[in-house]
């Protein structure tokens, strides 16, 4: 006996999501089968509304309910700082830190030649034109601290060099709660290189 078609259909969709294999997908679907019917209806509704209710901000390429996004419309933000991130969820993470109150630019990707992703595939031209407007005094490159993120940051730095403004990169080092003994060599080297007066 094969699983019922309705179960298989939902299992197939779940399996397309990142980090969800066949067993996890089946567990999620059977959970919904045994849960009150309202839960699968809630899921259906939220999934149906997701894409129709979000907009791409035409200024910073953030994802929000409005265009321009809440941040670009917020008069109280520091409009002289621009934080460049790879994805909208990175912007959400920086916001959650509570340590930044400037504007953002979401690249929607990274430069990854091995995956066929070049500078033309992300919002770099839009970044350059925003920076060239001359409104910013600092650009913070907050791309990931991995190979592609570093390459993207390096590319951004070169691209924006002619604009003659301060270009910074997030500090690398031991994460909060981190154990020196278990820190990898590169992290430890970066932490030493970037050591601060105490």
Interacting residues with a second copy (CB under 8 A): 1, 3-7, 9-10, 12-14, 16-20, 24, 26-34, 37, 39-54, 63-65, 69-71, 74, 87-89, 91-92, 95, 108
Q: Name the minimum Å distance from CB 193 to a second copy.
A: 30
CB 106 within 8 A of CB 61: yes
Nearer to a second copy, 70 or 146 (CB): 70
Q: Name the minimum Å distance from CB 117 to a second copy.
A: 13
CB 33 within 8 A of CB 6: no
CA dihedral 64, 53, 12, 5 (to 10 degrees): 160
Nearer to a second copy, 39 or 171 (CB): 39
Nearer to a second copy, 65 or 133 (CB): 65
User: What are all long-range contacts of 15-18, with beta carbons under 8 Å and residues at least 24 apart?
Assistant: none
For residue 122, what are its two tokens? 């992300």
Closest CA to 126 of 92, 75, 101, 160: 160
Q: Name the minimum Å distance from CB 196 to a second copy.
A: 29
Q: Name the minimum Å distance from CB 136 to a second copy.
A: 19
For residue 3, what are its two tokens? 């699983």
Nearer to a second copy, 107 or 191 (CB): 107
């Amino acid at each position: 006996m094969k699983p019922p078609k309705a179960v298989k259909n939902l299992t197939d969709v779940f399996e397309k999501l990142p980090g969800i294999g066949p067993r996890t997908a089946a567990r999620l679907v059977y959970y919904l089968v045994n849960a009150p019917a309202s839960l699968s209806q809630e899921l259906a509704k939220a999934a149906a509304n997701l894409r129709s209710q979000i907009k791409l901000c035409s200024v910073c390429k953030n994802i929000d309910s409005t265009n321009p996004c809440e941040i670009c419309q917020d008069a109280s933000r520091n409009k002289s700082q621009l934080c460049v991130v790879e994805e909208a969820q990175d912007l959400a993470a920086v916001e959650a830190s509570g340590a930044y109150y400037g504007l953002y630019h979401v690249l929607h990707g990274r430069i990854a030649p091995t995956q066929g992703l070049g500078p033309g595939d992300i919002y770099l031209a839009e970044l350059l034109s925003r920076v060239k407007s001359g409104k910013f005094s600092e650009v913070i490159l907050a791309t990931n601290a991995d190979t592609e993120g570093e390459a993207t940051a390096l590319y951004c730095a070169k691209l924006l060099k002619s604009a003659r403004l301060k270009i910074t990169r997030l500090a690398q080092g031991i994460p909060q709660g981190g154990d020196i003994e278990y820190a990898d060599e590169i992290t430890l080297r970066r932490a030493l290189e970037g050591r601060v007066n105490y």
